[in-house]
Amino acid sequence: MKSTSEDRQHILWVDLIRIIGVLLVIMIHVSTAVVYAWNKKPIQRGDVAEWLVGVSYDMVARPSVPLFIMASGFLLLRKIEPVLDFLRKRFLRVVIPFLAWASFYFFWDPGFQKSEKWSRNIYLLAKSIAVSNVEYHLWFIYAILGLYLVTPVIRLFTHSAQMQDYAYFFVVCIISGPLAYLIIQWLGFEISIPGSTYFAGYIGYFVAGYVLGQSPVSRKIFWIALSTFVVVAGLSIGGTYYFSAVYKHFYEYFFDYLSLPVIFTSLCFFVIIKYLSDRPVQNSLVERLVRDLGRASFGIYLTHILFLKLLDQGFFGTIIQATPSTALFSIPLVTGLCYILSYLLVWILARIPGIKVLVGY
């Protein structure tokens, strides 16, 4: 059984992964306007540097969602508890905030079809949730709920698996998901792999988080991870520019969460954070801040789109958004501002009895 001190260290680095993960999610959504500028107009010689700045921010931020999933895998797969108890706790903590914010965005965002009749709107809302036609960032909730459903079964595997079992599992995950996707991108046809439906999603990240979280990270492994991250990210940025120029539109392969480049950078990012933070914190104030920000991460994820749109609409007196000409400074600036505003809202809601459940507290 792990000691209290070790538990604190583990929780600390998991909190940091959550904090960094949600910051990277926001950065992706902020940099989108710059990245997809390629599709809006032909990129001229003078625009390439500005566009590549946005692409670089976006590429570095791609481990965002995988980090969340790997952190969840580490926390959930190491436990053993009754299935119904697990599902009740997990689904209540996620489903209630999801339904609340899906409803809020549905009625607040004019982009969703609505009716003058209240009963009709309830039907349209229920339909949009059922078919996953919700605010775009909420797709992640469907993915994590699917992983929750299979967690009790995966636990049986992880608590008895040996190294060769994990090796086989990850090989199947790679073949059925990223490799099959790569074949579609490069050869233009889809291959049929038996059972791929069950492994082609995010289950590989989920189990990888458990395996990496349980494994110590040496200084040598840290430097290998850091070097690999830099090389793969750099090649992905260059590849994106080359293929976007060839195909005359933004080439998205290197940015897909299940592409081989993002898998490599995500695993490396996880190892890097764990190595840098898997040690005692002497300052109790810093530790409390990290824990509070980590706990608020789910609420920040749910609410940040609200502030991105308010900033973009000039709600605070002026339009605040990332632009190609100012991408180097505007992307991190808008990301940080959106994070702070979202955290303040979550902090306030978390201190209102009966309301804090809406932000995952």
Give every CB contact of residue 100 below 8 A, 6+ residues apart in sequence.
Answer: 358
What is the model's pLDDT at position 7?
45
pLDDT digits (tens, 9 = 90+) for 118-160: 888 898 899 999 988 889 999 999 999 999 999 999 999 999 9
Q: Pick the residue with more confidence: 181 or 290?
A: 290
Cα distance between residue 261 and residue 242, in whole Å: 16
pLDDT digits (tens, 9 = 90+) for 215-244: 999 999 999 999 999 999 999 999 999 998
Tell me if 332 is assigned to some domain.
no
Secondary structure of the chain in the HEC alphabet? CCCHHHHHHHHHHHHHHHHHHHHHHHHHHHHHHHHCHHHHCCCCHHHHHHHHHHHHHHHHHCCHHHHHHHHHHHHHHCCCCCHHHHHHHHHHHHHHHHHHHHHHHHHHCCCCCCCCCHHHHHHHHHHHHHCCCCCHHHHHHHHHHHHHHHHHHHHHHHCCCCHHHHHHHHHHHHHHHHHHHHHHHHHCCCCCCCCHHHHCCCHHHHHHHHHHHHCCCCHHHHHHHHHHHHHHHHHHHHHHHHHHHHHCCCCCHHHCCCCHHHHHHHHHHHHHHHHHHCCCCCCHHHHHHHHHHHHHHHHHHHHHHHHHHHHHCCCCCCCCCCCHHHHHHHHHHHHHHHHHHHHHHHHHHCCCCCCHHHHCC
Asked whether residue 57 carries a pLDDT value surpassing 90, the answer given is yes
What is the model's pLDDT at position 9?
46
Alpha-carbon distance values, 11 to 94, 158, 267, 277 (Å): 20, 20, 18, 10
Tell me if 324 is assigned to some domain.
no
Asked whether residue 70 carries a pLDDT value surpassing 60, the answer given is yes
Cα distance between residue 24 and residue 19, in whole Å: 9
- Give me the long-range contacts of 285-288 (CB less than 8 A, separation at least 24): 287/8, 287/12
Across the range 161-174, mean pLDDT stands at: 92
Q: CA 327 from chain center: how many Å?
A: 22
The tally of domains found in the chain comes to 1
Cα distance between residue 208 and residue 327, in whole Å: 33
pLDDT digits (tens, 9 = 90+) for 282-337: 677 888 888 899 999 999 999 999 999 999 999 988 999 998 888 999 999 999 99
What is the model's pLDDT at position 197?
52
Cα distance between residue 294 and residue 302, in whole Å: 14
Cα distance between residue 96 and residue 203, in whole Å: 23
Asked whether residue 44 carries a pLDDT value surpassing 70, the answer given is no
Cα distance between residue 60 and residue 259, in whole Å: 14
Asked whether residue 246 carries a pLDDT value surpassing 80, the answer given is yes
Across the range 168-186, mean pLDDT stands at: 82
* Gyration radius (Cα) of the chain, Å: 21
pLDDT bucket at 201, cuts 50 / 70 / 90: confident
Q: Pick the residue with more confidence: 57 or 199?
A: 57
What is the model's pLDDT at position 4?
41
Across the range 195-204, mean pLDDT stands at: 68
pLDDT bucket at 248, cuts 50 / 70 / 90: confident
Structure tokens at 225: 């991870």
Q: Domain of residue 15: give its range.
A: 4-282
Q: Are 297 and 18 in contact (CB under 8 A)?
A: yes
Tell me if 52 is assigned to some domain.
yes
pLDDT bucket at 267, cuts 50 / 70 / 90: very high
Asked whether residue 16 carries a pLDDT value surpassing 60, the answer given is yes
What is the model's pLDDT at position 172?
87
Burial class of residue 292, CB neighbours in 10 A (0-12, 13-18, 19+) = middle
Cα distance between residue 98 and residue 92, in whole Å: 10
High-pLDDT (> 90) share of the chain, %: 58
Tell me if 357 is assigned to some domain.
no
What is the model's pLDDT at position 2?
42
What is the model's pLDDT at position 42?
55
Cα distance between residue 356 and residue 97, in whole Å: 9
Asked whether residue 96 carries a pLDDT value surpassing 60, the answer given is yes
Asked whether residue 115 carries a pLDDT value surpassing 80, the answer given is no
High-pLDDT (> 70) share of the chain, %: 90
Give every CB contact of residue 350 below 8 A, 6+ residues apart in sequence.
Answer: 296, 299, 356, 359, 361
Tell me if 302 is assigned to some domain.
no
Return mean pLDDT, the chain: 88
Tell me if 125 is assigned to some domain.
yes
Tell me if 219 is assigned to some domain.
yes
What is the model's pLDDT at position 193?
58
What is the model's pLDDT at position 6?
42
Give every CB contact of residue 104 below 8 A, 6+ residues apart in sequence.
Answer: 306
Give every CB contact of residue 353 below 8 A, 6+ residues apart in sequence.
Answer: none
Asked whether residue 280 carries a pLDDT value surpassing 80, the answer given is no
What is the model's pLDDT at position 79?
87
Asked whether residue 35 carries a pLDDT value surpassing 70, the answer given is yes
Cα distance between residue 26 and residue 137, in whole Å: 10
Tell me if 323 is assigned to some domain.
no
